[in-house]
Structure formats: structure tokens, C-alpha cells
Structure 1
């Protein structure tokens, strides 16, 4: 295997080097008789800690992309580098500057955009065209987010507020996924996670319920304590199953293969 980029192996604060990609659309419905609305998720991935940050957005416009980055910076800090693909919403920053500064030649717009990111200290890079493997480190996290949403929602349609809660829970689950064991002792279950690298003393997620939840009939308009509790347990069960699956695969892959001998 070729050498990894320096950003992947050098010690750095979380999200100093960040990858950005989109997934979606997801469908929500605020009321029973209203039309479905589309939502997308902006997925920020840390090069070094493998942590994720999820932002729910309403469309794939350049304006939404910029606002998602602003929210990310407000909570995670200003990154040194952001790596994205060549999607149109990421390359339309020049059109936003046109609306702000007036019509200018494209070259001047490009220079202004570069100066803007330089002032912020952000190095915005694009992967080469037709080379999706360059962004493989964040594409893997996109796949994990998709699987978690599919296992949790299946064919259900929820409200915008419920979707925001769900992606926050998925973010917490992925940031507590095991990266590698901290000991070679098979009886030592301590593991390294992205969350332990970002905030070692922080416990992500709510305490698990004491009851074993059963699959309830979906109610698009939850009413009362019992219904809300059932839906919370359903989301919890799906997220726990997803998390346990990840831990099982990590431990299974960490085991040394048995050496086969002839005779």
C-alpha cells in the first residue's frame, strides 16, 4: 500500500483536516396531509481522528453549503484544510461572491474566493475529477451513515425535528465506534474511539433503557408519553444493533489468523 498523506498520520486537533461530502435526499413530512419535503446531510469527516460531524440541510445549493460550513466552524473550529469532490454546490462559491460583490470577471472572482479562504486560514481543495478513490476516507463514513439511517427509519417518514434528533444520535454512535483495541490482552475490552480522542471524559448519548423494546407500529403523529417512549426505544434499538455490529467486526478483524500447516 502506498504511503498515507501526512494529514492522515500526523498528530493534529480534531477536524483540522476535514473531508466534506453529501448524502440524500431524505424525505420528511410535517403533517399527514402535506407533501413530502427533501433533506440532505452534509458529512464532515476528520482526517486524523476519523470523527464525523453531520449537518442537516434543505437543498443542494451553494448557499446551503456555505451555511453548513459556517455552522460546522461555529461548533468544531476553523479547519486548516477542507477536501471535497467536484460537486456543483461546492464549486459555486464564485456565484455567491458575485451576488455579494457584484458582477466581476470569473478570474477576479476566483482570486477573491481564494483571498477569502486565505483570510479564514482555510485551504479548500478538490479531489481530481473522475478519481473518487481519493475521497475514500470520507466515502466510507457516508456509507456508515446511510446504513444507520436505513436500519433506523426503514420505510418510515418522520418530521424535520425528528430527523435532526436522529442524525445527532447517529453522529454520537459513529463517534463512539471502535477504531482499534488498546491492549493485546483478549480479556481487556478497552478500545480507542473518535470520541475518546476529541473529548476523553465525555459520554455521548442518553443512558439506555432497562426494557427490551419490541417493534411497534409506526405512528407518524406521536401522542402521549407511552408513544414517545416506544419510538425512542425503537431508535435506540436500531442504533445499538448498528454499534454492536461495528464492534464485532473490529474485534473479529483484529484477531490474528490461524496459521495452517500441512500434514
Structure 2
């Protein structure tokens, strides 16, 4: 199910998908394909017109990014091309965020991102040299734009990761951290669109039985981290009523 507002492009997408479903149903020689598509079809759920508060989840992400955008560029006047480039890269940052694991396979380290719904794969960016510490009067227009992107990314990523962590005291046991759990590692100085995630392969408890440290397997190897340095990705467990 896709829940969205009443924008004309979303309604047009619904009409196109409805027509595609009818086309598949009329092709008797593709019975197997038709059966598979009907089981995995998309159901659109629209929020009420002119009621953005019903879309609080995505509106909150937009509000957060606007806050960091305004605090970063302030009263700086950008050329149209510069501003368009900046907003496009910020959009990529938002759509690169991990949402949940793609499957529960302990050997699979892939996560679902908004980019999968747009281009069917995670969004990537060309690495740019770090401009931290370089005086602004020594930067050209392109470098200044990239420095804005880097600052906004750093602030927004930190805020997003903090939002994923449970609001509990560190002395309380976190039952959701167990072997096989997909987590994000809180790392400093990661470039835009770069996330480090992996699966917990080992847990270590303190004398009180509470989990304090975990070993996480990533694409770059295994790392040992305190639980304050990891964020558990949301996982939705489908019940029989959901799958029916």
C-alpha cells in the first residue's frame, strides 16, 4: 500500500497501474505472471485533500531538512543553478535514508530506501573532497555549494540517527538488540548519501544482564560498538491479518 497526498501525478500513477493490471488480466497466455502481479499489486491510500497533517511522517522529514537548509545558507543569495543543484542533492540525501531491511536473511546486508521506489536501487553520489576548515573566501561557487550540502547532510544525518534510537536510559535492557538484527552504525564524517549498516553477530552483556556491546558485521568487516553507537532499523512483522 502506498499512502500519499492528492497530487495529480500520484492519481495519474494510480490510473496507469489500474490500466496495466487490466492489461495483464486480459493476457491469458501469461497466467502465471498475472497471478503473481495480482498478489503483489499496489493499493493506493490517499490522505484527505488539503490536509498535510495526515502525512505527518513525510512532512516531518521535509520540515527537518528545511530547518537545516535555512540555518546553513541563511541570507546567502544563490544563483538559480546553484540553488537547484543544492536542492537536488538535498533530495538525494533524504531519499538515501535506510527505512528497513529488505529481508530477514542474516547474510543479506541490503536495506530498503526511498531511492528504491524511484530508481529501483540505492542512491549514490560522487565522492567530493572534504572542504572542512577551508575559509569560505577561498572556495569557488561549486565548492561553496558542496560545502553547504556537506554541512546540511552532517546535521540532518545526526538528527535522523538520534530519532531512531529508543528514548530509554542506557541502564535498561534493550530486547530488540539481538543476533541477526539490522542496525545502523553512528559514524562521524561520512560523506553525503553514505550510511554504514550491518547485522549484529554477537552481543555482550554486563554484570546486570543488560546488553552493553555488540559486534556488527558490515561490508567492510566486523566492528565492536557500544549500543549507544548503533541504531536499530524499524522492522515490521507481518501478521496473518496483514498478509491476508
Query: TM-score with structure 2 length normalisation?
Result: 0.43
Query: TM-score with structure 1 length normalisation?
Result: 0.41
